[in-house]
C-alpha cells in the first residue's frame, strides 16, 4: 500500500525556485572574470537561468545532453547549472588544471555538445577545439563588450546568447533520477572516470550538507565557495546555499590569499570552504599583514587531510574548522568532524586532535572499514581497514562503463584506508595504494609524511613502500629540503620516532631535489614507487 502524499520529485530547479520565491532578494555577490564585483540575487539568478534554459532548448539541447562548463565560480556559472539542468540536460564541469590532452579525452568521452567557458580559457579551448568534434557551439561567459575575436565554432558571448530569450518558459518535469551533472575523477593512474549525479542525489546531498552537524547553513549565512564548482559539485554549495536561503559570495578567478581575504571581508562571509592550500595561503597573508577575519564563523576544509596547525590557527582566530572528507563519487561530502556529547568534554588539545579526524557521516551516508578479506574491522580507533561507503549520494558506476563500481554487497570502495574510533569518528590514515603492508600490519604513509614535514629542514616528504625480503614491504622516506637547508637523515628520523611505533620508522631516507606531482598538485606516488621499488634489494 502506498502513502497518499504529493508527488513532488527532487529536482535541482526546485532549489532555485525555492530560493527565488522565499529568499528572492538574497545577494549573490561575485568577483567577475572581467574584474569588478557583480551583485545579483536569487530571483535574478532564477530568471536568467530560465532564459538560458529557453535559449539552450532553442539550440536543440535535449534531455540527457551534456553541456560542458569550464568556468570559475561566478553568478553566470551558477545560472548555467540551473539553466542546463532545468531542461534535463547535464552540466559537465571541467577542471582547467588538467593536462589539455586529458581535457580533450574527457570531453570526447562525455560527448558534450556545447561548451560554456570563461574568458580565461578561450586560448586553451582554441587550441583544443579541432580535437573536439562533438562541441558545436562555444558560449563565452562574458558580455559583448568583453568578447574577444575567436576562432571557436559558433562562438557567442553569454549575455547576447541570453538576450535572445525572454524567460517566458517553464522548467521541464522529469523523473528525479534523471542525470543532472557529470564530473570526471582524475586518478593518479588510468583514464578519468565520469561520475553522473542525478537530480535526486544533488538535492538529497544539498539537504544533508545543510544540516547543523554538517555545514549548518541558514538564511543568515553568507557562503563563499572558494572550492571551485568544477571540484566535485562545489561541495554542494551551489545547491545547499540557495536551499537554505544563505547568500552566496563567488570568488571568480582570484583564489590567492590577499584576494580571498578581501572578498571574505567585502562579502561579510560567515561560512567558506576550500582545500588546505587555499587556507595556508590566506593565513600566510593574515600573518604577514596583521589583517583580521571580522565576519567569518566557520570554514570547511577538505579535499586532502587538514594539517593540525591550520585547525589551530583558525581556532585561535575564533573560526570553527569543519574538517570534511569526501570524494567526487560521493557528491562529494562523506563525513564531517562535528561534536558529539561523548567528545564535547575534551581539553582544547584533545579537541584539536579530534578535529584532525575526518569525522562522522550525516544521515544518507553509511561507512565501514573492512580488511582485504572483506570482513568488517572493529571501531577501536587503531585498526586500519579499507573504507567503504554507501547511500543515495554515492555513485554506483561510472559513465559509459556499463558496469557496477560496487562490491557484491553494494558498497563503494573509497580507495582510502581509515580507522574508526568507538564514537564513530573516521580518520583517513592512507590511500589503499599507498599504505605500507609490513609483515601483515599496515603503516600509514600519510602519518609519516606529516611528521616529516614538521622537521624544520624539510619542504616536502613522501613515504612509499619498497619491497623487502623479510617483511614484504618497508617504508622508505623521500625528502625535499627547504631552500638553503641541508637535511640530516638521522635528525628527521629522530624527529619522527617519538610519535610512532618502533616498527613504523622508515628503514631509510632519500633526499631528492624534487618530487613528481600530478596536474592537480598531488604527489605522484606511482612514479616514486616504481623508481624505488627495489631500494631494499628485494626482487
Q: Exactly one of 273, 321, 360, 428 binds a copy of itself (CB under 8 A); which one?
A: 360
The C-alpha cell at 497 is 620516532
Shortest distance (Å) from residue 128 CB to a copy of itself: 25
Query: Is 534:465 a contact under the CB 8 Å cutoff?
Result: no
Q: Which is nearer to a copy of itself, 23 or 474 (CB)?
A: 23
User: Alpha carbon of 53 to those of 20, 89, 169, 172, 517: distances in Å?
Assistant: 16, 9, 8, 9, 40
Shortest distance (Å) from residue 442 CB to a copy of itself: 24
Shortest distance (Å) from residue 297 CB to a copy of itself: 12
How many CB atoms are located within 10 Å of the residue 287 CB? 11
- Over the Cα atoms of the chain, what is R_g? 24
Shortest distance (Å) from residue 211 CB to a copy of itself: 6
424 binds a copy of itself (CB under 8 A): yes
CA 410 – CA 376 distance, rounded (Å):
14
CA 188 – CA 79 distance, rounded (Å):
32
Q: Which is nearer to a copy of itself, 89 or 313 (CB)?
A: 89
228 binds a copy of itself (CB under 8 A): no
Q: Exactly one of 228, 252, 302, 391 binds a copy of itself (CB under 8 A); which one?
A: 391
193 binds a copy of itself (CB under 8 A): no
* 3-state DSSP assignment of residue 224: strand
Backbone angles phi, psi at 258, to 5 degrees: -60, -40
User: Alpha carbon of 362 to those of 305, 338, 390: distances in Å?
Assistant: 19, 10, 12
Which residues within the stretch 244-263 sit at the binding site for a copy of itself (CB under 8 A)? 244-245, 247
Pairing of strands 366-370, 333-336: unpaired
DSSP one-letter code for 459: E
How many CB atoms are located within 10 Å of the residue 409 CB? 8
CA 178 – CA 172 distance, rounded (Å):
11
Query: Is 227:303 a contact under the CB 8 Å cutoff?
Result: yes
Q: Exactly one of 45, 94, 319, 394 binds a copy of itself (CB under 8 A); which one?
A: 394
Q: Exactly one of 129, 227, 243, 275 binds a copy of itself (CB under 8 A); which one?
A: 243
Which residues within the stretch 64-93 sit at the binding site for a copy of itself (CB under 8 A)? 64, 90
CA 458 – CA 60 distance, rounded (Å):
56
CA 350 – CA 384 distance, rounded (Å):
21
12 binds a copy of itself (CB under 8 A): no
CA 308 – CA 375 distance, rounded (Å):
32
Q: Judged by CB under 8 A, how many residues of this single chain contact a copy of itself? A: 76
363 binds a copy of itself (CB under 8 A): yes
CB contact set of 410 (below 8 Å; sequence gap of 6+)? 390
208 binds a copy of itself (CB under 8 A): yes
Which residues within the stretch 279-338 sit at the binding site for a copy of itself (CB under 8 A)? 331, 338
Q: Which is nearer to a copy of itself, 19 or 428 (CB)?
A: 19
Q: Exactly one of 164, 166, 342, 441 binds a copy of itself (CB under 8 A); which one?
A: 342
* 3-state DSSP assignment of residue 136: coil
Query: Is 142:114 a contact under the CB 8 Å cutoff?
Result: no
390 binds a copy of itself (CB under 8 A): yes
207 binds a copy of itself (CB under 8 A): yes
Q: Exactly one of 95, 142, 210, 414 binds a copy of itself (CB under 8 A); which one?
A: 210
Q: Which is nearer to a copy of itself, 95 or 364 (CB)?
A: 364
| From 127-135, 175-183, 289-297, 300-308, span contacting a copy of itself (CB under 8 A) | 175-183
Q: Which is nearer to a copy of itself, 138 or 412 (CB)?
A: 412
Q: Which is nearer to a copy of itself, 424 or 454 (CB)?
A: 424
3 binds a copy of itself (CB under 8 A): yes
Q: Map grid coordinates 530560493 to a residue.
A: 19
- Note the maximum CA span of the chain: 74
CB contact set of 534 (below 8 Å; sequence gap of 6+)? 466, 467
Which residues belong to the active site? 185, 329, 437, 442
DSSP one-letter code for 515: -
Binding track over 118-157 against a copy of itself, x by CB under 8 A? ----------------------------------------
217 binds a copy of itself (CB under 8 A): yes
Shortest distance (Å) from residue 153 CB to a copy of itself: 24
393 binds a copy of itself (CB under 8 A): yes
Shortest distance (Å) from residue 432 CB to a copy of itself: 20
178 binds a copy of itself (CB under 8 A): yes
Backbone angles phi, psi at 304, to 5 degrees: -150, 165
Q: Which is nearer to a copy of itself, 26 or 48 (CB)?
A: 26
Q: Which is nearer to a copy of itself, 76 or 222 (CB)?
A: 222
Query: Is 124:98 a contact under the CB 8 Å cutoff?
Result: no
395 binds a copy of itself (CB under 8 A): yes
Amino acid at each position: 500500500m502506498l502513502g497518499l502524499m504529493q508527488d513532488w520529485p527532487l529536482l535541482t530547479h526546485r532549489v532555485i525556485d525555492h530560493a527565488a520565491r522565499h529568499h528572492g532578494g538574497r545577494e549573490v555577490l561575485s568577483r567577475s572574470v572581467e574584474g569588478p564585483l557583480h551583485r545579483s540575487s536569487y530571483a535574478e539568478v532564477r530568471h536568467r537561468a530560465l532564459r538560458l534554459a529557453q535559449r539552450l532548448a532553442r539550440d536543440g539541447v535535449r534531455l540527457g545532453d551534456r553541456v560542458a562548463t569550464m568556468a570559475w565560480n561566478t553568478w553566470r556559472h551558477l545560472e548555467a547549472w540551473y539553466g542546463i539542468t532545468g531542461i534535463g540536460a547535464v552540466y559537465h564541469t571541467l577542471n582547467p588544471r588538467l593536462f589539455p590532452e586529458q581535457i580533450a579525452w574527457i570531453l570526447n568521452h562525455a560527448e558534450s555538445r556545447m561548451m560554456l567557458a570563461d574568458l580565461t580559457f578561450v586560448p586553451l579551448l582554441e587550441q583544443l577545439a579541432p580535437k573536439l568534434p562533438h562541441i558545436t557551439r562555444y558560449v563565452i561567459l562574458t558580455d559583448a563588450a568583453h568578447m574577444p575575436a575567436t576562432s571557436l565554432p559558433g562562438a557567442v558571448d553569454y549575455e547576447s546568447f541570453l538576450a535572445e530569450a525572454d524567460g517566458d518558459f517553464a522548467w521541464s518535469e522529469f523523473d528525479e533520477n534523471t542525470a543532472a551533472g557529470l564530473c570526471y575523477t582524475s586518478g593518479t593512474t588510468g583514464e578519468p572516470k565520469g561520475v553522473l549525479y542525478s537530480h535526486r542525489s544533488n538535492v538529497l546531498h544539498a539537504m544533508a550538507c545543510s544540516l547543523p552537524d554538517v555545514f549548518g547553513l541558514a538564511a543568515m549565512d553568507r557562503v563563499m565557495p572558494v572550492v571551485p564548482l568544477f571540484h566535485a559539485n562545489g561541495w554542494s554549495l551551489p545547491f545547499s546555499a540557495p536551499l537554505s536561503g544563505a547568500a552566496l559570495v563567488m570568488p571568480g578567478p582570484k583564489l590567492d590569499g590577499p584576494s580571498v581575504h578581501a572578498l571574505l571581508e567585502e562579502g561579510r562571509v560567515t561560512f567558506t570552504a576550500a582545500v588546505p592550500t587555499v587556507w595556508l595561503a590566506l593565513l600566510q597573508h593574515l600573518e604577514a599583514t596583521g589583517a583580521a577575519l571580522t565576519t567569518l564563523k566557520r570554514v570547511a576544509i577538505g579535499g586532502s587531510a587538514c594539517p593540525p596547525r591550520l585547525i589551530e590557527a583558525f581556532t585561535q582566530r575564533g573560526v570553527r574548522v569543519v574538517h570534511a572528507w569526501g570524494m567526487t563519487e560521493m557528491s562529494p561530502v562523506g563525513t564531517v568532524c562535528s561534536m558529539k556529547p561523548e567528545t564535547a568534554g575534551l581539553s582544547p588539545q584533545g579537541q584539536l586532535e579530534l578535529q584532525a579526524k575526518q569525522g562522522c557521516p550525516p544521515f544518507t551516508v553509511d561507512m565501514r572499514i573492512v580488511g582485504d578479506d572483506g570482513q568488517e574491522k572493529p571501531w577501536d580507533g587503531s585498526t586500519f581497514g579499507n573504507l567503504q561507503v554507501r547511500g543515495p549520494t554515492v555513485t554506483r558506476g561510472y559513465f559509459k562503463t556499463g558496469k557496477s563500481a560496487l562490491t557484491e554487497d553494494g558498497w563503494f570502495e573509497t580507495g582510502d584506508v581509515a580507522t574508526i574510533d568507538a564514537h564513530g569518528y573516521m580518520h583517513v590514515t592512507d590511500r589503499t595504494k599507498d599504505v605500507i603492508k609490513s609483515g601483515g600490519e599496515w603503516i600509514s604513509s600519510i602519518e609519516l609524511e606529516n611528521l616529516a614535514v614538521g622537521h624544520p629542514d624539510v619542504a616536502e616528504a613522501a613515504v612509499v613502500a619498497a619491497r623487502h625480503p623479510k617483511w614484504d614491504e618497508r617504508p622508505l622516506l623521500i625528502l625535499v629540503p627547504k631552500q638553503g637547508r641541508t637535511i640530516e637523515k638521522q635528525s628527521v628520523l629522530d624527529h619522527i620516532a617519538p610519535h610512532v611505533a618502533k616498527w613504523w620508522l622508515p628503514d631509510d631516507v632519500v633526499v631528492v631535489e624534487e618530487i613528481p606531482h600530478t596536474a592537480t598538485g598531488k604527489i605522484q606516488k606511482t612514479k616514486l614507487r616504481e623508481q624505488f621499488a627495489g631500494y631494499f634489494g628485494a626482487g
